[in-house]
A and B are shown apart, each in its own frame.
Chain A
Amino acid sequence: MKPETEAELAKMVAGLNGPVRIAGGGTRGIGGPEVVIETLGLRGITLYEPGALTLVARAGTPVAEIEAALEAEGQQLAFEPMDHRGLLGTQGEPTIGGVVAANISGPRRIQAGACRDFLLGVRYVDGMGQVIKNGGRVMKNVTGYDLVKLMAGSWGTLGVLTEVSLKVLPKPETVATLAVGVPEVADAVQVMSAALKSPFEVSGAAYDSQTGRVLLRVEGGLESVAYRSQQLTAALSGFGEIAEVAQPADLWRALRDVRAFEGQDGDIWRISVKPTDAPDIAARLGADQTLFDWGGGLIWARVPGGIDLRDRLGAFDGHATLVRADAETAEALGRFQPEDAGIKALTQGVRRRFDPRGLFNPGLMG
């Protein structure tokens, strides 16, 4: 099913009599019911005011279309949404609705915030087929409950997004990346913490255990970037060899999309942790390959297929999401971290009220 308007979608949902999979471009590999509602027909940027840093677009608008419009005005989506196609081997066109529904944020999340932090407003169709709006198009808005945040990262389980409104930011004039050679994860996290604790506004801090390199990104005006790179280099010189890396833009796109794991076997997990816990947690993973982003706060792990990583981790401050696995494994382990009883009661209660018939991506989030 591919509605062309919000009204058509609402009517479609009201008439449903069984579960559906909600998909934008279908690039995030969530699986689910055979019947699919695709939002690709709800397309187009409806408002863009560069002077107010706001953009409103229908949910099925391709991310590429939005990025091109922003680029023309020297602006960007600061939360740097990842493109999952390479990692998951999916086809199709990533949409802004998909990015929002999955709260997809890249390396700049540590400094600028997550997708949910840039989301100003939503329109969606709930499980009863009603069109609901929340938030708006202005940057500060505390009028009523913030269902905007709730919809971000709800993976289509609470409603079908039809329109999203986003805060955008100026694109930095220039980017510099420093590489620090450190063989051990523990040292790498220390380097990244030191960099993020500095006043030099690091906008990316990642570590690839295979190359043994910490990568630190500095963005902004030309003079400012030169100054801050120099200051950072001086501040971190005690940790190891530091050098500036060429071609930083593509480098960060590769990190964002976890290209290091592309075409490799096994399941892929994404684990959000307290950064200084990362070395200990990584040691318990028994992973074939790991990549650390967000100053150590985000671990990407490639492990042999079918293993329940959460079993190995036990209780920790954070959560583990199964990003890539075959359907049986995903079904058996669940994609999302199981919730404590108290939280589960709340999330199930919310889900039952937004989608009382359990139509949207059932079972995906528990």
Chain B
Amino acid sequence: MEMPTPNPDVLRRKAAVLQRLQRVLPKDAVIHDPSETRAYECDALTAYRCPPMLAVLPSTTQEVADVLRICHQEGVPVVPRGSGTSLAGGALPTADCVILGVARMNEVLETDYDNRFIRVQTGRTNLSVTGAVEEEDFFYAPDPSSQLACAIAGNIAMNSGGAHCLKYGVTTNNLLGVTMVLMDGSVVEIGGAHLDAGGLDLLGVICGSEGQLGVVTEATLRILRKPEGARPVLMGFDDNEVAGQCVSDIIKSGILPVAIEFMDTLCIRACENFAHAGYPDCTALLIVEVEGSDAEIDHQLSKIIEIAKRHNPVELRESQSAEESAKIWLGRKSAFGAMGQMNDYMCLDGTIPVSSLPEVLRRIGEMSAEYGLPVGNVFHAGDGNMHPLILFDANKPGDLEKCEAFGAEILKLCVDVGGCLTGEHGVGIEKRDLMSHQYADQDLEAQMAVKDVFDPNWLLNPAKVFPLDASEARRKMRAAAE
């Protein structure tokens, strides 16, 4: 993976930059010793590593503003970091950058049940947002599998999704407002406890901008009342195509489950070994969950089961208890970890139109044989968001490169059938150079023009999202300006 050459001028001025940062931050909030900066050398895309020049851990919006102002004046690139759980390399440093971690900013600022929102500092983890409102039977809906660790800051940067977004939407649909610091240190407030933007929907473009437009320090999030109950049903099929058809039939029937998850044999086995959820051993497994009162759940599930039966499932089982439901979800949410116990893996995130599911799975199978690398498939079937997990051996020379090439081919296939490169993980560095497969030059220019407005010198997370050759002129302009 190519990254821009570090700016030697910035590296040379490390001591001066450090000194200025130490003046505005507490001593322990500035990390400069190479043995300590190493902790920030990668995120969850561990195949790529590079220790940053410095790392800072501000505690307030004011401190974030001070850091950005100084870096702006010094021409130092800044890579924002939530909890470092990005699977796309969104928080991967460059050797000449300052990592700005928001982990110390994890306070709940306001909870308001009458108006159904919570305001938090963005270093707070996704699950602990729900934790803060659970007492009143509320929850924060987006639920990425990394929710125990991932920060709201990263969720906003990547517009994270989760298993339940078929019903509740992704981060952007649950974000009401932000306090954001721009690269020049100015602070803007966008949105609030009211609905929908008054002017242009800047909030909409900030969410998912991968830390390239500003550093979001506070967020107003929509919270929802928990449903009375929820219950999953497991459906096993001996054919992917049939499973795909079953998903489509359920959706067409007028029932909207909160989640429809899909796993193939390899994932089923790995997850079963890990969570002992009682998954059937079959070609394709669907987990379909519905919500409501017991009677409502019974009613919806009976309809869903009726549809499933038409497709001759090899297994059809309703969860019998809350404990069993928890196990079923633990298995699913542990999929990446469980696969990781088998080997190194690369996790993809393309989305496809649901109708292309059988075709895409067949092609992935064929490519897997061609490349000689096994693939497990686990994904959100209701919305077509796939997560093929390619297994490889990082210690075997050439395996990573082969895996990257295979991954790129799968993602191109996703685009070619009418889908996209990434459904919820973000582009980061991982899919950066594939962007031109999905977008024409002028499409990328339109997006980069937005960054020009927010960060004219291209200092914030500059080597991400856009193909390096597409963003080169802009990044060079910055170097020339210094």
Q: Taking beta carbons and an 8 Å cutoff, which residues of A are in contact with B?
A: 49-54, 73-74, 103, 105, 109-110, 113-114, 116-117, 126, 130-134, 136-150, 152-154, 157-158, 169-171, 173, 190, 193, 196-199, 201, 221, 223-224, 227, 272-276, 294, 297-298, 317-319, 321, 336-337, 339-340, 342-343, 346-347, 349-351, 353-354, 365-366
Which residue of the partner chain A has the closest CB to B225?
A199
The answer to whether A52 and B248 touch across the interface, beta carbons within 8 angstroms, is yes
The answer to whether A143 and B427 touch across the interface, beta carbons within 8 angstroms, is yes
Contacts of B227 in A (CB 8 A): 199, 201
The answer to whether B293 and A354 touch across the interface, beta carbons within 8 angstroms, is no
Residue among B137, B170, B201, B353 with the most chain A CB within 10 A?
A: B201
The answer, yes or no, to whether B380 is at the interface (CB within 8 Å) is: yes
> What are the nearest 3 A-B pairs in CB distance?
A149-B204, A319-B198, A51-B248
Which residue of the partner chain A has the closest CB to B300?
A221
The answer to whether A113 and B115 touch across the interface, beta carbons within 8 angstroms, is no
Closest CB of chain A to B295's CB: distance in Å? 6
Closest CB of chain A to B430's CB: distance in Å? 12
The answer to whether A274 and B204 touch across the interface, beta carbons within 8 angstroms, is no
The answer, yes or no, to whether B274 is at the interface (CB within 8 Å) is: no
The answer to whether A130 and B442 touch across the interface, beta carbons within 8 angstroms, is yes
The answer, yes or no, to whether B1 is at the interface (CB within 8 Å) is: no
18 interchain pairs, CB-CB under 8 A: A54-B353, A109-B196, A114-B195, A140-B383, A141-B422, A144-B439, A145-B447, A147-B205, A147-B447, A157-B200, A197-B113, A199-B137, A274-B115, A274-B192, A319-B198, A342-B187, A349-B453, A354-B446
Residue among B195, B226, B293, B421 with the most chain A CB within 10 A?
A: B195
Residue among A273, A274, A298 with the most chain B CB within 10 A?
A: A274
The answer to whether A275 and B254 touch across the interface, beta carbons within 8 angstroms, is no
Q: Which of A50, A273, A350 contacts B200 (CB 8 A)?
A: A350
Q: Which of A54, A131, A141, A343 contacts B442 (CB 8 A)?
A: A131
Contacts of B170 in A (CB 8 A): 140, 142
Which residue of the partner chain A has the closest CB to B228?
A199
Q: A114-B195, A144-B444, A298-B195 given as contacts; is B201 within 8 A of A139 (CB)?
A: no
Q: Which of A198, A294, A321 contacts B195 (CB 8 A)?
A: A294
Q: Which of A50, A137, A141 contacts B252 (CB 8 A)?
A: A50
Tell me the B287-333 residues at the A interface (CB within 8 Å): 292-293, 295-296, 299-300
CA distance A196 to B450 in the complex (A): 37
The answer, yes or no, to whether B173 is at the interface (CB within 8 Å) is: yes
The answer to whether B427 and A138 touch across the interface, beta carbons within 8 angstroms, is no
Contacts of A110 in B (CB 8 A): 195
The answer, yes or no, to whether B116 is at the interface (CB within 8 Å) is: yes
CA distance A169 to B207 in the complex (A): 24
The contact size tier of chain B is: 35 or more
Q: Which of A116, A139, A275 contacts B115 (CB 8 A)?
A: A275
The answer to whether A145 and B209 touch across the interface, beta carbons within 8 angstroms, is yes
Instruction: Mark B82-114 against chain A: 1 for CB-CB distance below 8 A, else 0.
Output: 000000000000000000000000000000111
Contacts of B454 in A (CB 8 A): 346
The answer to whether B420 and A143 touch across the interface, beta carbons within 8 angstroms, is yes
The answer to whether B423 and A142 touch across the interface, beta carbons within 8 angstroms, is yes
Q: Which of A54, A73, A170 contacts B255 (CB 8 A)?
A: A170
CA distance A74 to B252 in the complex (A): 9
Tell me the B405-464 residues at the A interface (CB within 8 Å): 418-427, 431, 435, 438-440, 442-444, 446-447, 449-454
The answer to whether A52 and B204 touch across the interface, beta carbons within 8 angstroms, is no
B64-72, B158-166, B395-403 - the one binding chain A: B158-166
The answer to whether A343 and B425 touch across the interface, beta carbons within 8 angstroms, is no
The answer to whether A134 and B447 touch across the interface, beta carbons within 8 angstroms, is yes
The answer to whether A140 and B165 touch across the interface, beta carbons within 8 angstroms, is yes
The answer, yes or no, to whether B343 is at the interface (CB within 8 Å) is: no
Contacts of B202 in A (CB 8 A): 150, 343, 346-347, 350
Closest CB of chain B to A127's CB: distance in Å? 11
Closest CB of chain B to A250's CB: distance in Å? 22
Contacts of B450 in A (CB 8 A): 145, 147, 150, 350, 353
Closest CB of chain B to A135's CB: distance in Å? 8
Tell me the B134-182 residues at the A interface (CB within 8 Å): 137, 158-159, 161, 165-166, 169-170, 172-173, 182
The answer, yes or no, to whether B190 is at the interface (CB within 8 Å) is: yes
Contacts of A339 in B (CB 8 A): 198-199
The answer to whether B439 and A137 touch across the interface, beta carbons within 8 angstroms, is no
Closest CB of chain A to B168's CB: distance in Å? 10
Closest CB of chain A to B432's CB: distance in Å? 10
The answer to whether B248 and A146 touch across the interface, beta carbons within 8 angstroms, is no
Beyond contacts A144-B438, A339-B198: 17 other A-B pairs, Cβ-Cβ < 8 A, are A50-B252, A51-B251, A52-B355, A53-B251, A117-B173, A136-B418, A137-B418, A138-B352, A140-B165, A140-B384, A144-B435, A146-B159, A146-B209, A224-B296, A319-B194, A349-B453, A351-B200
CA distance A184 to B196 in the complex (A): 26
The answer, yes or no, to whether B249 is at the interface (CB within 8 Å) is: yes
The answer to whether B228 and A116 touch across the interface, beta carbons within 8 angstroms, is no
The answer to whether A321 and B427 touch across the interface, beta carbons within 8 angstroms, is no
The answer, yes or no, to whether B385 is at the interface (CB within 8 Å) is: yes
The answer to whether B195 and A146 touch across the interface, beta carbons within 8 angstroms, is no
The answer, yes or no, to whether B351 is at the interface (CB within 8 Å) is: yes
Q: Which of A138, A142, A196, A224 contacts B116 (CB 8 A)?
A: A196
The answer to whether A134 and B443 touch across the interface, beta carbons within 8 angstroms, is yes
Which residue of the partner chain B has the closest CB to A135?
B420
The answer to whether B443 and A221 touch across the interface, beta carbons within 8 angstroms, is no
Contacts of A147 in B (CB 8 A): 205, 446-447, 450
Contacts of A274 in B (CB 8 A): 115, 192-194
The answer, yes or no, to whether B73 is at the interface (CB within 8 Å) is: no
CA distance A160 to B274 in the complex (A): 52
Contacts of A351 in B (CB 8 A): 200
Closest CB of chain B to A3's CB: distance in Å? 19
The answer, yes or no, to whether B189 is at the interface (CB within 8 Å) is: yes
Contacts of A149 in B (CB 8 A): 172, 201, 203-205, 207
CA distance A349 to B213 in the complex (A): 13
The answer to whether B351 and A146 touch across the interface, beta carbons within 8 angstroms, is no
CA distance A297 to B112 in the complex (A): 14
The answer, yes or no, to whether B197 is at the interface (CB within 8 Å) is: yes
Contacts of B114 in A (CB 8 A): 190, 193, 197, 275-276
The answer to whether B293 and A272 touch across the interface, beta carbons within 8 angstroms, is no
Q: A199-B227, A350-B453 given as contacts; is B193 within 8 A of A317 (CB)?
A: yes
Contacts of A146 in B (CB 8 A): 159, 172, 204-205, 207-209
Closest CB of chain A to B455's CB: distance in Å? 11
Contacts of B199 in A (CB 8 A): 319, 336-337, 339, 343, 347, 365-366
The answer to whether A49 and B355 touch across the interface, beta carbons within 8 angstroms, is yes
The answer to whether B384 and A138 touch across the interface, beta carbons within 8 angstroms, is yes
The answer to whether A51 and B355 touch across the interface, beta carbons within 8 angstroms, is yes
Contacts of B247 in A (CB 8 A): 51
CA distance A139 to B422 in the complex (A): 11
The answer to whether B208 and A142 touch across the interface, beta carbons within 8 angstroms, is yes
Q: Which of B196, B205, B209, B293 contacts A114 (CB 8 A)?
A: B196
The answer to whether B198 and A337 touch across the interface, beta carbons within 8 angstroms, is yes
The answer to whether B353 and A224 touch across the interface, beta carbons within 8 angstroms, is no
Which residue of the partner chain A has the closest CB to B384?
A138
Residue among A141, A145, A171 with the most chain B CB within 10 A?
A: A145
Closest CB of chain A to B402's CB: distance in Å? 24
Residue among A142, A197, A366 with the most chain B CB within 10 A?
A: A142
Instruction: Mark B54-88 against chain A: 1 for CB-CB distance below 8 A, else 0.
Output: 00000000000000000000000000000000000
Residue among B209, B226, B354 with the most chain A CB within 10 A?
A: B354
